[in-house]
Structure 1
């Protein structure tokens, strides 16, 4: 029995596909959805004008108190005196930066800053991730809300209250040392021991800000598709395997982004936290770049040296951000901005 000829473009079962005709191609093109029209900038502004109005106070604050003062960094290249105008101060080029390199106090502040920053990064950064995983695993909504409120409440306390609280608990006359003395043991200098000061600073940061950082990772966890967990559980994957193969890879872009931003601000370990503990633990231990700029510029009157120290810290932070972002691109992540098409 002879078979009826098949039309051009048809695919017979068990045989290789046959090239379709130009008419079939044109029919497929007609079935494709039309491209979405681009919205003009004016239309987008009219659509989102309420959000733009809400952004105005924050943008003005950022402009007046962050970007406009950047212009004052010009005094880092001058021999500035407060009774002279900036335009009248003599220009000295990079002499202030050369003086910084020869200043032993600046070298001490830089070394303390790097040590404290590395300790804080290693001990502090994983804690919000762990807290987010703990909160996400809680089944009771009431328990989750109560835990979150308790954990991120210390973020709203000032460093004055935080240091005072730690003094009441860990200080020489604090609660723990009083209990040790009553039981015939020696008091432990938790707050005044220079060798353990980096650990104390890291613990203070964890207690104050780890709960606030947890919110970002909770938002990242909420964006992970729940069907992935169901499929993994159906295949026999345990809880820790689901965390390792689904949760952490889903949080990886956010983790990389925050790690890059933390590296950029690694030299900004804090001003209030250290100046409040400077007298207790000693200036040689608590001197960081922020306190050095304050005591050199504001207290010591050498405004140019203080500005040079702050500017050097900002330049190093920018370089660290660019390098870390480049490494993120090499590892296949977007970082703080996407890679170029080339």
Structure 2
């Protein structure tokens, strides 16, 4: 009869560190390549967590973080009872929701249309032109938009040419949110389509052949093959975007905003910049940033849990 050898549980526990060290030794150069990324995240994403304590202190730069007195939730109470808080929250949510409703489907639709193009040269040319604006900073891109929308700009010149009155787009509260959403889509939809084009390339071609044999046209193939094939990517990107619901786009709005449209365009991030860097209220600015982070974490956690219950792909 075969004998059963008794293995001491400590021997298995001791082998785990040895195996780990063996893997590091075997793939040493891969870990060396990974090291700069780890250092970056530790320095800029983990160590700064200590600075979040400023939100619960009356921070004084001369005394430092450790020497500043604790004030508990004072800054959060000041934030929630501020007359500006409701306006900032509404503006941030509306602009973010508009960007999600109109901006999230844009790269998906563009990728689906570009995927149907069979002329490779034309396809690559269009793709290059559309994702080029992503590499422009908002200072440059916002300056171009501002030049087009000024009273003496190209858009107003066209309006005057057809007999209409010029419109001051940049100082009108009626147009500001629409301009923000539209220019955001124009700048990023081409770059966002790259992810979905990669997902489309991963769809099994045999599924299309089977659909054609069953008599499916282009529309039926889109509904029953293409969209289900890229749905995991769509849900994953939706979770990521939802986690940034309170990030309405600081750089874009800071470049294009002016006092005439503060009522509809001032968001949490621009408010944090003003009170934090311009007025020196670092504790209140940190409290606002922490509030945003907590809301974003709750949204990601809730959406991920909901998608898991619905059987869709999730982050974890």
Task: Tell me, yes or no, if the aligned pair for 2:55 and 2:287 is still in contact at 8 Å.
Answer: yes
2:55–2:283 Cα contact (<8 Å) kept? yes
Superposition deviation, residue 200 in structure 1: 1.2
Question: Is contact 2:177-2:264 (8 Å) kept?
Answer: no
Residues 330, 58 of structure 1: alpha-carbon distance in 2 compared, 3 angstrom cutoff: same
Alpha-carbon contact 1:177-1:187 (below 8 Å) kept = yes
Classify 1:216/1:48 alpha carbon distance in 2 versus 1 (closer, same or farther; 3 Å): farther
Does 1:302 find its partner at 2:281? yes
> Rg larger in 1 or in 2?
1
Shift of 1:252: 0.9
Q: Which moved more, 1:103-112 or 1:63-72?
A: 63-72
- Structure 1 CA distance, aligned partners of 2:219 and 2:170? 38
What is the aligned partner in structure 2 of residue 23 from structure 1? none
Count of residue pairs the alignment pairs up: 298
SS at match of 1:326: helix
Superposition map of 1:125-144 within 5 A: 125-144=104-123
Distance 1:230 1:46 in 2: 48
Q: Higher relative CO (CA 8 A, sep ≥ 6), structure 1 or 2?
A: 2
Partner residue, 2:221: 242
Structure 1: how far apart are the matches of 2:301 and 2:67? Answer: 35
Partner of 2:247: 268
Q: Go from structure 1 to structure 2 and tell me whether the alpha carbon gap of 1:182 and 1:221 turns closer, same or farther (over 3 Å shift).
A: closer
Partner Cα separation in structure 2 for residue 229 and residue 136 of structure 1: 14
Alignment counterpart, residue 307 of structure 2, candidates 328, 333, 341: 328
TM-score (norm 2): 0.89
Equivalent position of 2:167 in the other structure: 188
After superposition, the CA RMSD in angstroms is 1.6
Matched with 2:183 is 204
Moved over 3 A (4+): 40-52
Cα distance in structure 1, aligned partners of 2:236 and 2:313: 8
- Decide whether the 8 Å contact of 1:297 with 1:305 is kept in 2: yes
- Whole-Å Cα distance in 1 between the matches of residues 78 and 242 of structure 2? 26
Q: 1 CA distance for matches of 2:27 and 2:121? A: 35
Select the residue among 69, 72, 91 that pairs with 1:112: 91
CA distance in 1, matches of 2:185, 2:104: 9
What's the TM-score, normalizing by structure 1? 0.83
Does the residue aligned with 2:84 lie in a helix, a strand or coil? helix
Partner of 1:33: none
